[in-house]
Amino acid sequence: MIAQPIDDIHHYGRRLAAALSILPGDKRILEKNRKNIKQFLEYIRAEGLSIPRQVRYVYVLRKISNLLGKEFYRTTKPDMITIVSEHRLRIKTCLRCQESNSPTNSFCSRCRPPLDMRTAMQLHEEESKTHSVMDDLLEDPEVKEVLLSKLKAMAR
């Protein structure tokens, strides 16, 4: 599998834009924390961190800010320990590559397989639906004829 197709980069670019656009409107985020998040993002962007990571950091920092209900610079170590243990319960860890994914992710942001059974089941259902559509089509005499003539033409 290709590590990061162009489409994915655009996809993450949109997700980053979406994550950032929530920042100013999220009333739960304290003004100072909002500023800190933006500064931090500028810093990691300058450091060349990938867009998926930027998206994740925005998500995690917003989450931490909301869980804390406190300004980042006033945060104590015990505060962080509480937050991290609580956050860890909600994070979805990919079974294949151990990547930490945000709870809103259905697919691993790194290696792509579904993160939970529900998504996997949905995919499976979609797949079997496609198969039965193909079966129905092949039962159709007209489709069969077209296919056969196509195959004959190709064999020539």
Other residues' Cβ atoms within 10 Å of the Cβ of residue 49: 14
Closest approach, Cβ 113 to Zn ion, in A, equals 6
**In terms of CB distance, is 83 or 99 closer to Zn ion?**
99
DSSP letter string over 69-137? TS-GGG--HHHHHHHHHHHHHHPEEPTTT--EE-TT-SB-TTT--BSSHHHHHHHHHHHHHHHHHHHHH
Closest approach, Cβ 101 to Zn ion, in A, equals 8
**In terms of CB distance, is 88 or 150 closer to Zn ion?**
88
For residue 101, list its beta bridge partners: 92
**Are the beta carbons of 63 and 84 closer than 8 angstroms?**
no
**In terms of CB distance, is 62 or 110 closer to Zn ion?**
110
**In terms of CB distance, is 68 or 91 closer to Zn ion?**
91
- Applying CB under 5 A, the residues found at the interface with Zn ion are 94, 96-97, 99, 108, 110-111
Query: Which phi and psi (to 5°) does residue 101 adopt?
Result: -115, 150
Distance CA 19, CA 59 (A): 7
Closest approach, Cβ 60 to Zn ion, in A, equals 17
What single-letter amino acid sits at 144? K
Closest approach, Cβ 57 to Zn ion, in A, equals 18
